[in-house]
Amino acid sequence: MIGRRGKWMIILYMAFLTVLFLMCSTDLIIREPEKEVYQIAVIIEDARDDNYGSFRKGMDQAAMELNADVHFITLYEKMDADQQMDLISREQQDGADALIIVPADADKVAGALTDGRVTVPAVIIGSEITGEKAAGTIGADYKNMGRQLAEAVMRDADETCQVLILEEPQKRSIMSRLFLEGIKEEFEECGRGWKSAAGQETSQGFWNLAKSLDSGGGQRLVILAETPELLTEAAGFLAENPEVLAAAEEKKPGEPQPEALPEEKESRMRDGIGEGVFESRGAVLGLYGRGSTLPALNYLDRGMIQGICVTDEYSIGYLSVDMAVRALEGDSSRNRLQTDSYYIEKEDLRKPEYEKLLFPVE
């Protein structure tokens, strides 16, 4: 039999265990300070997020670690600066604590920062914009990236090769503008000529470009794409028309190449392409551009793309959120950051030093 004292000991022991359980599993007794969840709106310049895969992975990782709730917002129409300004106003009214902006129009965003229309800390991606409320800027040196690509092209193709730059036919972002400036400045300084053409979104459009360049008679051609979208479109065209791409053993600029096979000419005539277009097989020596989207990397691995310039998009996404949170907490010690850019070819895809950069895992 358990005496009265023993019963009280059991009751006290059970009460102790209950209190211990409540202390360990709830905050009813010892309340931990609540962590503030920062509301951050990310507003890009594009209508699609295809080029932001790695960026979003880095952004999401930072949001999880830094207790932030991040909203990723695209435009209805690419490079619509007025709509972007409306979205900036809307997100502030809806309670965003900070903004991360990829400007559609750098001047308009700079003006909003300067005259106080942006009332919360703002991190600017890809531009050296500053202003009263700017938390900072982060991005790559896109002009230097363009120079890197032009240098690679001149290493691979001598002056007997024509250079074609596919340019964005509509409004271009500041990243694209700086990238294109770097390409052209490097070519000009080295005395290398080029031709420019508005990028096309269809295979027939690329054939029309080829016609205008008089690429027959053994003439070689290298193509540079201004944007990741144009790079992917051009690579898709080459994948669908492999006879256009120079084989590895044929990549000797200026050397006469064998005539197209009769069945190839017949196929072109059926497709409405006609004579005078890539009269010798393998007229395109290489395709070059920028961006690390999965389609571009796949085309690089398949040999449709010769080389691309990339930057650490994952880190840009992560650091942009980190910079916004720091600004909200009063720390502005890292208000300008610039990531490195790299030129890679097919053999670089599986190198350890590029694996995390190209294929980040959250």
The per-residue pLDDT for range 59-81, each reduced to its tens digit, is 999 999 999 999 999 999 999 99
What is the DSSP pairing of strand 98-101 with strand 122-125?
Answer: parallel
Using alpha carbons, list the distances in angstroms from residue 222 to 4, 62, 260, 297, 347.
96, 40, 19, 19, 20
- pLDDT number for residue 317: 95
Q: What is the mean pLDDT of residues 96-108?
A: 93
Distance separating alpha carbons of residues 282 and 256, to the nearest angstrom: 11
pLDDT at 294 exceeding the cut of 70: yes
pLDDT score for 321: 96
The residue among 278 and 222 whose pLDDT is bigger is 222
pLDDT band at 282 (very low <50, low <70, confident <90, very high): low
Tell me how far apart the alpha carbons of residues 58 and 317 are, in angstroms, rounded to a whole number.
5
Domains 38-140+313-338 and 143-290 alike in fold = yes
- Report residue 80: phi and psi, to 5°: -85, 95
State the CATH class of domain 38-140+313-338: alpha beta
Report the alpha-carbon distance of residue 242 to residue 282 in Å, rounded. 8
> Which pLDDT score is estimated for 351?
92
Could you report the per-residue pLDDT of 304-321, keeping only the tens digit for each? 999 999 999 999 999 999
Q: Are strands 134-140 and 336-339 parallel, antiparallel or unpaired?
A: parallel
* Kind plus residue range of the DSSP H or E element containing 70: strand 68-73
* Confidence tier at 241 by pLDDT (50, 70, 90): confident
Q: Is the full-model pTM beyond 0.85?
A: no
- Alpha carbon 317 to chain centroid, angstroms: 10
Domain residue spans in the chain?
1-34, 38-140+313-338, 143-290
CATH for the 143-290 domain, from 3.90.79.10, 1.20.120.1200, 3.40.50.2300, 3.30.420.10: 3.40.50.2300
Query: Which has the closest alpha carbon to 203: 113, 151, 277?
Result: 277
Residue 14's beta-bridge partner residues? none
3-state secondary structure of 323: helix
Nearest CA among 67, 69, 66, 106 for reference residue 85 = 106
pLDDT at position 212 over 70: no
Read off the pLDDT of each residue in 183-189 and give the average, rounded to a whole number: 96
pLDDT at 3 over 90: no
Q: Residue 274: its pLDDT value, please? A: 35
